[in-house]
Structure 1
């Protein structure tokens, strides 16, 4: 990789991190509704147009961590030992998302109460999260169907959707780290009970 490309990537990553940090400070200090994109950009020391190079909206900052977690889930599917069933692959993939949350950076955890409040005030899942979760499910489903050729993709998609939906529902109602992750793991188990014998 050329040195200039590496420098650009590092600068882009640092800018993104500065935006997330600024948004976290403002969301937790002023509240989500009381914070604008202009406020976040000013706190981060960037122009509003730079904010939009990294995030489509201020809601997107709340879920800035999701794509990184999906990489972990996909890697988990690829590394499962021989003999692991497709059902187990779905369960382990979604569990890896929760495991990643357990060791997440401070900014992700600090935003958890804000995400819960936004979900409650909007009466459900924010559109930005719905879009991101669709991408999450698509990537994980692709990894599983590639690992298990001939798998009934619809059955697998239903199982995966149930698990991701259960985790999202629990997370949106529980902002306490000490109980949230255990509740999400339990939700994965419950969501998978109707899919214990997937056709292959």
Structure 2
């Protein structure tokens, strides 16, 4: 990689991190609704137009972590041993997304409570999360289909969607301590997998 390209990428990453840091401070300090893009840009030391080079909206900042976590899920799928069924691969991939949110049972994402509050106030899944989850599911599905070329894509997509939906439903509750919520998410994945395979003709996990 040319040095100039590397420097530009480094500057871009540092700017993005500054925006996320500023937004986190403002969202947790004065609330999501009271925070504007101009507030975030000012705290980060950038122009509002620079903010929009990195994020489509202030809501989009709430889900800045998703891309990093999907890379972990894809790496886990790639590392699965030969003989792993596609249904097991789906479950392992979604479990890895849950595991990436936590280290030793401690939630590492300071914006998690803000996301829960926004979801509750909006009465459903925020649009930015819906878009990102679609991207996550597409990338994971492509990775699993690459391992299993003859896989029925519709059935696999349905299974993956069931697991991701179950995790999202548990995450939106936000009442339990982080470690308990993680356990509940993992249990939801097992239940979604069992329910799907029992009614789809797929091998039981």
Tell me the TM-score range normalised by the shorter chain. over 0.9
Kindly indicate whether the alpha-carbon contact (under 8 Å) linking 1:26 and 1:40 is maintained by their aligned counterparts in 2: yes
Aligned 1:97-108 pairs, distance under 5 A: 97-103=97-103
Q: CA deviation at 1:153?
A: 1.1
**CA-based RMSD:** 1.7
| 2:191 pairs with 1:187 | no
After superposition, the C-alpha distances for 1:156-191 in whole angstroms (9 at most, x for unaligned) are 111000000111111111163222211111111111
Q: Which residue of 2 aligns with 1:154?
A: 154
Structure 1: distance between partners of 2:107 and 2:25: 9
Structure 2: distance between partners of 1:107 and 1:29: 18
| 2:145 pairs with 1:145 | yes
After superposition, the C-alpha distances for 1:61-115 in whole angstroms (9 at most, x for unaligned) are 00000011111111111110011111100000000101111139x9962101100
Structure 1: distance between partners of 2:10 and 2:57: 22
Q: CA deviation at 1:198?
A: 2.3
Name whichever of 140-149 and 173-182 sits farther off.
173-182
Kindly indicate whether the alpha-carbon contact (under 8 Å) linking 2:28 and 2:114 is maintained by their aligned counterparts in 1: yes
| 2:202 pairs with 1:198 | yes
Normalised by the length of structure 2, the TM-score is 0.92
Structure 2: distance between partners of 1:86 and 1:195: 13
Kindly indicate whether the alpha-carbon contact (under 8 Å) linking 1:116 and 1:172 is maintained by their aligned counterparts in 2: yes
Structure 2: distance between partners of 1:178 and 1:40: 31
Structure 2 counterpart SS, 1:109: coil
Show structure 2 runs of 5+ residues with no match. none
* Matched length: 198
Show structure 1 runs of 5+ residues with no match. none
Aligned 1:1-200 pairs, distance under 5 A: 1-103=1-103, 109-174=109-174, 176-196=177-197, 198=202
Kindly indicate whether the alpha-carbon contact (under 8 Å) linking 1:21 and 1:107 is maintained by their aligned counterparts in 2: no
Normalised by the length of structure 1, the TM-score is 0.94
Runs of 4+ off more than 3 Å: none
